Amino acid sequence: MSNNVNKCHNWIWLHGYSLSGIGKTVQWASIDLLLLIFLTDILLIPVEVVAIMLSISLAWEVFIGFALSVLIEKFKHRIRKFSYFAFIFSFPSVLAYAALFTPPPAFIDNTVNYVLAVMLIFRLTYITIDIPNNTLMVTLTDSPNLRTKLSSLRAIYSAFASLLISVVIYLVFQQNTLEQQYQLLPSLVIITSIISLSTMLISAYITCQFEQKNKSTYVKKSTREVFRLLTSNKLLIIFISISMVSYLTFPIFLKSVPYYTKYIVGDASLSGVVFFCMTIAQIFTFHWSEKIARVKGKLNVLYISYICIILMSLLFILFQPRSDIQFTILCSFLGALIASTQMLLWAIVPDLIRPINAKSIHQSGAAAMGFFASVNKLMKGLAPILISFSYFLIDFEPNTTQSNQGETSIMLIMIIFPVLGSIASLIILKKYKDSFSSVYKH
């Protein structure tokens, strides 16, 4: 076992790195769970315009993500400490995040351009923190079990941030009018911004100390060599295809929750309660998934998770819940399974980048993790675009009572995609399961 692995046993480094999950998730969960309905139902931007805005910002983020991944891999012999990125870009990232949800009155007649400009700035600064932070999953340890532990701890810390955002969503939609919702947001955003900034800086400081103790010798690579190393790992490319399907379909369920609670259950503030209960369930799921994965293997637990998601989704379609309790219970179980699956995906991919049975490690870790993160963000970013386009096709009108056909369409959009995504992922995983399993054979 390497020196890195021994030092990672110290809980300070495990928790110090994982603490970044709070800082990043406070920002990203707000974008993930609140931004879409904020744009359509509070700022009253038409869904087709929202789809265009999200498409532009997504294309920008993907371009920046891929370019940054290659640049980091090419020049990481000079970077040495990936934590420096968090020190530099945390402040502009938090400022852009706060500005996104608090358009000043001066821009009230030009909201679309303002939101789009701020969104582009936010995605640039956020991904400049996110990709180097994800790269540390590869460089901190070679141990598959410790990678699972790191992924699990980061997911648990992220879940606490999601709890905070669920409270924000509840408080916002408890307000009776759009004006009251709009006026409450700035104070809530200031609080979450302070929490995000402080946790990212603390995490960066602790991780930076760890990186100082574990300086690695990197060899400069050409851009062509970076791409060659990345594309030569066929098993990694296949596994990323599984992740792509999951990150395209699962967020559609999560982003549809506020619409379901508002237009079908009839209580918009219930979405905050649902996200809160869902996150509590996720914390327990992360803990037990990590323990079971160490005994039964990550791939087996991932396989079972996809099957459970399909079964739970079918139960959702069967019951078509309209009561608060039914909807909250079903969403909590389904959301916990989805989060556990995503945690396992992040725990497995570093093992494919740096195989535990390899005699010499030569994989392009930074580029591979950056590619994995960028592709996931691309798929995740397509989810609200698909929702916006789907709602446009069903003639969705915000803040009005939906027809029976409209309610059914909202429910099907929410559930069908995760089912199809899980089936597709299972097919790919089953076909290449022996190849994936061979990575863990010593």
In this predicted model, what pLDDT tens digit does every residue of 236-274 receive, in sequence order? 888 888 998 998 888 899 889 989 998 999 888 898 899
The one-character DSSP state at 105 is: G
Residues of the chain above pLDDT 70, percent? 84
Q: Is the dihedral of CA 305, 250, 23, 203 positive or negative?
A: positive
- Residue 317 neighbours by CB under 8 Å, 6+ apart: 411, 415
The one-character DSSP state at 109 is: G
How far are the Cα atoms of 102, 110, 348, 364 from residue 106, in angstroms, in the given order? 11, 8, 48, 47
Where residue 179 falls (left for φ over 0; alpha for ψ -120 to 50; beta otherwise) is alpha
Separation CA 59–CA 89 (nearest Å): 21
Position 209 confidence tier, pLDDT thresholds 50, 70, 90: confident
Say if residues 302 and 347 touch (Cβ distance below 8 Å).
no
CATH code at 403?
1.20.1250.20
Average pLDDT, integer, range 330-346: 88
Say if residues 85 and 132 touch (Cβ distance below 8 Å).
yes
- Indicate if the pLDDT at residue 356 is higher than 50: no
In this predicted model, what pLDDT tens digit does every residue of 148-206 receive, in sequence order? 777 778 888 888 888 888 888 888 888 878 788 878 888 888 999 999 999 888 888 88
Say if residues 338 and 162 touch (Cβ distance below 8 Å).
no
Position 76 confidence tier, pLDDT thresholds 50, 70, 90: low
Q: What total number of domains does the chain contain?
A: 1
**CB-count exposure of residue 393 (10 Å: 0-12, 13-18, 19+):** exposed
Question: Which two three-digit tokens encode residue 359?
Answer: 């005699």
Residue-number span of the structural domain to which 188 is assigned: 3-215+223-438
Average pLDDT, integer, range 69-85: 65
Separation CA 425–CA 91 (nearest Å): 38
Separation CA 332–CA 312 (nearest Å): 10
Separation CA 31–CA 23 (nearest Å): 13
**CB-count exposure of residue 389 (10 Å: 0-12, 13-18, 19+):** middle
Return the pLDDT at 56: 87
Average pLDDT, integer, range 428-438: 85
Q: Where are the beta strands (DSSP E) in 109-153?
A: none
Q: What is the largest CA-CA distance in the chain?
A: 63
Position 2 confidence tier, pLDDT thresholds 50, 70, 90: very low
Position 215 confidence tier, pLDDT thresholds 50, 70, 90: very low
Question: Which two three-digit tokens encode residue 238?
Answer: 């296949």
- Residue 169 neighbours by CB under 8 Å, 6+ apart: 33, 34, 258, 269, 271, 272, 275
**How many helices (DSSP H) and strands (DSSP E) are in the chain?**
17, 0
Position 226 confidence tier, pLDDT thresholds 50, 70, 90: low
Average pLDDT, integer, range 64-72: 76
